A and B are shown apart, each in its own frame.
Chain A
Amino acid sequence: MITIQNLKKSFRTEEVETLALNNVNLKVDDGEFVAIMGPSGCGKSTLLNIIGMLDNPTEGSYNFAGNEVSGLKESQRTELRKGNLGFVFQSFNLIDELTVFENVELPLIYLNISKSERKQRVTEVLERMKMAHRANHFPQQLSGGQQQRVAISRAVITKPKLILADEPTGNLDSKNGLEVMNLLTELNQDGTTIVMVTHSDHDSHFAHRVVHLFDGQIVTQNQNRPVGAAI
């Protein structure tokens, strides 16, 4: 699904140029669950953002499901992202002014899906995530764990091929964190590819493979278990 070759990303300010990613080569197969780990500032999130097409690499190639992404314009990236990708963030990133239902519904609106189908799909997903009873609440009225469940609902509503999770348990206590990881694992078992950035060794064990990043380079890759095997 993902093939990254010799990828570089540098940030330039007036005086300093920082190389955030240096010659990264990474391949992620369909249905795989990959965790990216490393110390703060090693380039994990930058890599995730490039995989999520929120950012463009400075050099190198990034192929997503047969499409070369590097060099695409923002509008083209948005088009490719639509329906194919779902995001789960550490800080949930729900829109405060929209209810749980409306937050989850939003990606479908952008895909121009009919109202009746939207309603059906959102209801299904919320029931699956055990959030149906909270459909009309606003994000501020929910606990952190609940908010992340809503965020995951929103990420999966379009049935994406790939979910990108950026420290999805970072703002949660261990109980809620475990619930979220179980949800992601479930999704992965249903066939969704997952790339997750995490600091947590515990969380990384849910992945098939752990990629270690240091100073912008991949230093090691450990296989926890083969793809398809249970934890």
Chain B
Amino acid sequence: MSNAARQTDEIVIEVGQRHIREVNQDIMAACATGRPIRVVNTLSRHNLGVGLPDNVDITFEGSVGYYCGGLNTGANITIERNCGWAAGEGMAKGHITIGGYAGMSCGAAMIGGTIHVKGDAGPRVGVAMKGGNIVVEGKIGYQSGFMAHAGRIIALGGAGESCADALWQGEVWVAGGIDSLGVDVDVIEPTPEEVAEVDAILDPLGLVDSSRNWRKLVSGQRLWYFESRDASAWLMI
């Protein structure tokens, strides 16, 4: 974004080679003002903007490293380009937009809120998630939704190998090809009511397309309880 397009009351915070604790203290102080925040020169550094409060609008210019937006409790976070591992890990509430590629374990163990990835997502997106929604416009990576307990992962551009592996009670929705399914996954044709629920999530993001051929992946529930007769099913490779 050019300087001219920036909001005039915006607070700009420089990262560079500064200590991350210092940067995060500046971010927290800026959150208290209620003004929009722009974090610049991020250099793919880790742990930026962790534990942000409600009613905050923050943009990270360029790419960020690991755990950006983790433990979010309501902030509206924009990452302009890529993020490293586990963006939005454990977040409870709020909205994270990732402009590019989301690295491994995006939205890991999140319990609420929405993560919107405009590019592809890496392996194990939504691993162990317990609520909320992850919308990926591109393809989701290897073992996406691994052991997700609740919540929805919605992939508009297909899925990689071992998709929805050992899913617990979450749902993985895929439009497009699936390279392979993980263990104990059932693929079901969603009802129009269920599609309407998903479209309601996509609508505010401007991503509704009625021509999509959805597949909904849920747990086969066979591995919910370990039985020795099922041991071979666990040996996925």
Q: State whether these chains interact.
A: no
What residues make up the interface of A, taking CB atoms closer than 8 Å to B? Answer: none
What residues make up the interface of B, taking CB atoms closer than 8 Å to A? Answer: none
